[in-house]
């Protein structure tokens, strides 16, 4: 074997790996959605991309072993952004939720209605039968109500379980400086700021913006299924029932 050629190939391979890892650290990072806390916006088995430059340019690799260092900060996180962040109690875990309260906001929940700065968030209930058709197996037998919600500049869908009364109220809190109050869109099946507190800005990895692949892996009585109609959808544009339903009718699921 030609030693010089081997060294050259190793250098090229090392350079490619370095570029990929640097890009992952600075620009984009892929994640897979493992739980149902963000249904129906994000389904179990969705593969997403996170824009790590959304809120600023960071020094590469630093966030893997300490707090991130920003070379330049851009816009701060906004109400309604779907973010991926290090779980405050265990930074080794990555969580994904929607920002509801930003620094200085007051947040309160009364009978499952979210009040932001003393005003209820605007919602409109609608028939979610099309969402139930595509619901993950473990949630298919719950009685859900579906609402078109408006959080900041974002329009999205939340679902609530009529039979779940565990966390219908939440006492008013003021969001501290450099922190955010987050909720899951699957309101009655989400571990979020109602239970463990605020998300520090330093814990935020970036904003989820794209579903690039979606697949159900068989568990219990589920079947393997690829959801082609979810591929290539922007997180901010996933607005049930119209857009996704049209794509599903056109492309359909691939099941085996």
For the residues of 118-185, what is the DSSP string, one character each?
TEEPPEEEE--HHHHHT--GGGTTS-EEEEEEEETTEEEEEEEETT--TTS-EEEEEPPTTEEEEE-S
pLDDT of 149 reads 94
Domains belonging to the chain, first-starting first, are 31-255 (2.10.109.10)
The single residue of 58, 97, 112, 205 carrying the catalytic annotation is: 97
Number of other residues whose CB lies within 10 A of the CB of residue 170: 18
Q: Cα–Cα distance between 110 and 102 in angstroms, integer?
A: 19
Known catalytic membership, residue 37: yes
Known catalytic membership, residue 250: no
Q: Cα–Cα distance between 218 and 107 in angstroms, integer?
A: 39
Residues 6+ away with beta carbon under 8 Å from 29: 49, 50, 52, 84, 205, 206
pLDDT of 19 reads 52
Closest CA to 128 of 140, 144, 112: 144
pLDDT of 7 reads 64
In degrees rounded to 5, what are phi and psi of residue 231? -70, 135
pLDDT of 50 reads 95
For residue 63, the SS3 value is helix
How large is the C-alpha radius of gyration of the chain?
20
The single residue of 37, 190, 193, 214 carrying the catalytic annotation is: 37
pLDDT of 83 reads 98
∠ CA 121-152-186, nearest 5°, is: 60
pLDDT of 185 reads 96
Residues 6+ away with beta carbon under 8 Å from 13: none
Per-block mean pLDDT, blocks of 10 residues, the chain (256 long): 64 56 65 94 93 87 77 91 96 96 97 96 90 84 92 93 81 97 96 96 95 81 79 80 65 61
pTM for the model stands at 0.86
């Amino acid at each position: 074997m030609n030693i010089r050629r081997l060294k050259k190939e190793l250098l090229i391979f090392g350079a490619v790996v370095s570029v990929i890892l640097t890009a992952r650290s600075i620009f984009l990072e892929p994640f897979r959605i493992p739980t149902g806390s963000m249904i129906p916006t994000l389904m179990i088995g969705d593969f997403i991309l996170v824009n790590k430059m959304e809120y600023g340019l960071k020094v590469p690799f630093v966030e893997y072993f300490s707090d991130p260092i920003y070379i330049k900060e851009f816009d701060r996180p906004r109400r309604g952004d779907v973010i991926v962040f290090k779980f405050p109690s265990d930074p080794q875990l990555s969580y994904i939720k929607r920002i509801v309260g930003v620094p200085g906001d007051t947040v309160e929940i009364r009978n499952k209605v979210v009040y932001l700065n003393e005003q209820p968030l605007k919602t409109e209930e609608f028939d979610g039968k099309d969402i139930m058709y595509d619901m993950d197996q473990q949630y298919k037998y719950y009685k859900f109500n579906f609402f078109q919600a408006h959080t900041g500049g974002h329009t999205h869908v939340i679902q609530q379980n009529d039979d779940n009364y565990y966390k219908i109220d939440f006492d008013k809190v003021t969001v501290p400086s450099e922190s955010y109050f987050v909720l899951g869109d699957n309101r009655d099946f989400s571990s979020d700021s109602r239970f463990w507190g605020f998300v520090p800005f330093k814990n935020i990895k970036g904003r989820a913006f794209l579903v690039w692949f979606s697949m159900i892996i068989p568990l219990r009585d589920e079947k393997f299924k690829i959801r082609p109609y979810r591929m290539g959808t922007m997180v901010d544009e996933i607005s049930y029932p119209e857009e996704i339903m049209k794509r599903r009718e056109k492309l359909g699921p691939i099941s085996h």
